[in-house]
Amino acid sequence: MQLRRIFLYAAVLTIVAFPRIVTAQSSSSSSAPKHTKKAPTPVESTLDSGSIANSVYRNKMLGLSCKIPAGWVLRTDEMNSSEEDSAEKAKSAQASANASPKVLLAAFSRPPEAHAEDVNASILIAAEPAASYPGLTDAAQYFGPLTEVAKAQGFTIDEEPYELAVGTKTLVRGDFHKDIGSRVMHQSTLAMLSHGYAVSITVIAGTEDDVEELIDGLIFSASGK
């Protein structure tokens, strides 16, 4: 199974978070934690893009709230525009809105083009229909190709992906790190299947504590229709 478009978002975030990292693409898959398989949930409706107010991103359909640190810059619209201008634009134009991948939130501690020595802390929330990937029935399957891409970029997986309860949701989380001179880049991705979509939340920061602080800003409650 190939999940190129899903884990591509995480790769994009890694690149803009630290400009020295080189893009790596992989088409092979690897094993993931075994879970009981179930049929993918049909897409219920066009995914709500969510909204931001008082430095909090909210998506009622997913039952998700995400705190955005003060002073961070948003690049959600730009990343979605880049996706639309890609080589798959023609196909996307013919597909329904339900079949289009989407960046729901892209936030950075500083503009991605502003180079600096420290890690550009970042939050990326992305989603696309799970039906786009035949055989995707469990969020844990996301981490096979994601781990291969992370390793190709020089990241080391800290431990096998594991389940994590965040409010009313149970997600699968994977943690990675990359040594860059005297600094370390830490990346954590949380994934879930919801309303027929594969949703990934990736955070990058310079320390494990900073990563945990960003993850602590996530709140899940009962999702709406």
Q: What is the CATH number of the domain that holds 110?
A: 3.40.1000.10
Residue pLDDT, tens place only, 144-154: 777 787 888 88
Supply the pLDDT for residue 59.
Answer: 96
Supply the pLDDT for residue 118.
Answer: 85
Supply the pLDDT for residue 201.
Answer: 94
In a domain, 33, yes or no: no
Mean pLDDT of the chain: 77
Give residue 52's Cα distance to chain centre: 18
Name the residue range of residue 215's domain: 4-21+42-220
What CA–CA distance (Å, rounded) separates 57 from 95?
27
Give the chain's domain count. Answer: 1
In a domain, 31, yes or no: no
* Euclidean distance between the first and the last CA atom of the chain, given in angstroms as a whole number: 30
Residue pLDDT, tens place only, 73-92: 999 988 888 655 554 544 54
In a domain, 35, yes or no: no
The structure tokens listed for 73 are: 């810059």
pLDDT, greater one: 164 or 116: 164
In a domain, 225, yes or no: no
Residue pLDDT, tens place only, 9-40: 444 454 444 333 223 333 333 334 444 444 44
Q: Please state the pTM of the whole predicted model.
A: 0.77
In a domain, 29, yes or no: no
In a domain, 47, yes or no: yes
In a domain, 46, yes or no: yes
Give residue 129's Cα distance to chain centre: 14
* Averaged pLDDT, 141-170: 86
Range with the lowest mean pLDDT among 41-55, 64-78, 124-138? 41-55
Residue pLDDT, tens place only, 57-76: 999 999 999 999 999 999 99
In a domain, 209, yes or no: yes
What CA–CA distance (Å, rounded) separates 49 from 16?
22
Q: Of 168, 160, 72, 174, which Cα lies nearest the Cα of 123?
A: 72
